[in-house]
């Protein structure tokens, strides 16, 4: 079995335990007027800013703003994003990288989630906080990431910048005189990989002995007729025989034998479903949409790709964190029941699974656990199992 069910359940229990503890933990406060974060993942690098608005207001031409509210919030977020574009250059393994703007929001502290998108109608400018995220895709885990910090409080005091991956993070105080921070991946990063699936049956055209029996009788009949009605004798019989054989083969190709329904043991169905689901979530470890689709195509049929992309993307985005994406780290297939009679092209299952993931942004990491129920249709495509039908029945956060 591919599914590590007992290990998954142990991990889930641990997640719930730490989530319970997290509720009692105090919220993260802003420890400096300017904070920065470099978040390193196997296929994505993020540069994040958290700043007091009054620290940067004059620099974006907004020193006269007394209150941030619905009338000016969107315009201010756009100005801040424009001002941050290109600042604090980053190199990866010695090469400069261009980072695109992912999101800019006014934010507030939350006792459980660290920082969330500001939801108050009006906030005094002196209390307002700004969070911004810039990101770039990586081809794989980097050995070294280097940033030259350029944003400091107006009085030239220090900025606190944290860099690293989960479990490998370290913070430093940077100043205009000492603005560089270097992160080295000395411990390495675990790279998610596709789960191997059992082989799927190849579609074959089969011509049974029955075809040849029919063909042989046809040849004999034509031979008798040919010998009876022509003076050319056996030469004509031979020609007719060859023509008949060709006709039989052609008929066999045009009307191939209908194969038997797929024979699917319950244990193998469980293994296939787990691997397909795990590989679908793995696709979203990538940042580039083209990379996501390329990996999805290894698990889902072409007609289903867009539906799966949109549904999974929606389920993994955390709106209260401005659209930050959950990275699924563990999956527990709770139920996988064969449903209905299989056909020669597919089998059908009702599945329930739990996806455990983490979301990291603005220096805070927390876990997210969702449970799903779905009806799935799975069939062979080019010798590989693919998800060819999906109906999501229920989705809930637990």
In whole numbers, what is the pLDDT of the chain averaged over residues?
83
The CA-atom distances, in angstroms, between 6 and each of 234, 269, 276, 279, 281 are: 75, 18, 19, 20, 20
Does pLDDT of 304 surpass 80? yes
State phi, psi for 36 to the nearest 5 degrees. Answer: -135, 155
pLDDT value at residue 302: 86
pLDDT value at residue 260: 79
pLDDT value at residue 333: 97
Q: How crowded is residue 268: how many other Cβ atoms within 10 Å of its Cβ? A: 15
pLDDT value at residue 47: 97
230 pLDDT tier (thresholds 50, 70, 90): low
CB of 388 within 8 A of CB of 301?
A: yes
pLDDT value at residue 227: 52
Segment 378-384 mean pLDDT = 92
Which of 207-221, 292-306, 337-351 is the least confident region? 207-221
Which of 36-40, 165-169, 189-193 is the least confident region? 165-169
Q: For a pLDDT cut of 70, what percent of the chain falls above it? A: 77
The CA-atom distances, in angstroms, between 27 and each of 106, 110, 114, 383 are: 17, 6, 6, 52
Segment 208-232 mean pLDDT = 51
Measured CA angle at 83 (ends 77, 84), to 5 deg: 90
pLDDT value at residue 209: 46
The per-residue pLDDT for range 91-115, each reduced to its tens digit, is 999 999 999 999 999 999 988 778 8
State phi, psi for 44 to the nearest 5 degrees. Answer: -155, 145
Does pLDDT of 244 surpass 90? no
325 pLDDT tier (thresholds 50, 70, 90): confident
Segment 250-255 mean pLDDT = 47
280 pLDDT tier (thresholds 50, 70, 90): very high
Residues present in the chain in total: 398
Does pLDDT of 148 surpass 90? yes
Write out the two tokens for 299: 């698990």
Closest-CA residue to 198 (of 284, 260, 270)? 270
Does pLDDT of 13 surpass 50? no
pLDDT value at residue 30: 56
289 pLDDT tier (thresholds 50, 70, 90): very high
DSSP 180-195: EEEEE-TT--PPP-PP
Write out the two tokens for 95: 């090469």
Is the CA virtual torsion 52, 54, 60, 65 positive or negative? positive
Q: How far is 345 from 128, CA to CA, in rounded Å?
A: 58
Q: Find where tokens 């920065």 sit.
A: 36
Pairing of strands 327-338, 347-361: antiparallel
pLDDT value at residue 256: 47
Which comes out higher in pLDDT, residue 43 or 211?
Answer: 43
The CA-atom distances, in angstroms, between 315 and each of 11, 130, 286 are: 21, 25, 16
pLDDT value at residue 16: 42
pLDDT value at residue 19: 40
Which comes out higher in pLDDT, residue 270 or 324?
Answer: 270
């Amino acid at each position: 079995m591919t599914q590590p069910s007992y290990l998954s359940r142990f991990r889930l229990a641990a997640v719930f335990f730490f989530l319970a503890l997290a509720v009692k933990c105090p919220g993260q406060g802003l420890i400096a007027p300017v904070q920065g974060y470099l978040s390193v993942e196997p296929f994505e690098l993020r540069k994040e800013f958290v700043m007091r608005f009054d620290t940067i207001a004059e620099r974006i031409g907004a020193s006269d703003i007394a209150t941030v509210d619905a009338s000016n919030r969107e315009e201010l977020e756009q100005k801040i994003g424009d001002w941050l574009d290109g600042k604090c250059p980053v190199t990866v393994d010695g090469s400069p990288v261009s980072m695109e703007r992912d999101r800019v929001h006014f934010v507030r502290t939350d006792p459980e989630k660290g920082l969330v998108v500001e939801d108050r109608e009006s906030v005094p400018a002196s209390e307002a906080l700004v969070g911004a995220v810039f990101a770039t895709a990586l081809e794989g885990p980097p050995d070294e990431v280097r940033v030259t910090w350029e944003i400091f409080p107006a009085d030239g005091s220090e900025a606190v910048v944290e860099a690293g991956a989960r479990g490998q993070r370290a913070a430093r105080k940077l100043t205009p005189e000492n603005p560089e921070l270097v992160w080295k991946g000395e411990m390495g990063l675990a790279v998610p990989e596709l789960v191997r699936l059992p082989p799927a049956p190849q579609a074959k055209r089969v011509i049974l002995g029955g075809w040849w029996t029919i063909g042989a009788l046809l040849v004999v009949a034509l031979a008798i007729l040919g010998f009876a009605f022509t003076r050319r004798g056996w030469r004509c019989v031979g020609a007719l025989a060859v023509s008949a054989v060709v006709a039989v083969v052609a008929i066999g190709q045009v009307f191939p034998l209908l194969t038997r329904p797929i024979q699917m043991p319950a244990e193998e169905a469980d293994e296939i479903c787990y691997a397909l689901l795990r590989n679908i979530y793995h696709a979203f470890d990538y940042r580039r949409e083209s990379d996501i689709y390329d990996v999805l195509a290894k698990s889902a049929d072409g007609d289903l790709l867009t539906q799966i992309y949109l549904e999974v993307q929606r389920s993994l985005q955390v709106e209260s964190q401005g659209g930050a994406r959950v990275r699924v780290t563990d999956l527990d297939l709770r139920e996988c029941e064969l449903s209905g009679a299989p056909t020669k092209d597919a089998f059908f299952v009702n599945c329930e699974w739990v996806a455990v993931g983490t979301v990291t942004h603005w220096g805070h990491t927390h876990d997210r656990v969702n449970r799903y129920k779905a009806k799935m249709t799975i069939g062979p495509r080019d010798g590989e199992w693919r998800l060819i039908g999906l109906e999501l029945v229920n989705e809930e956060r637990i």
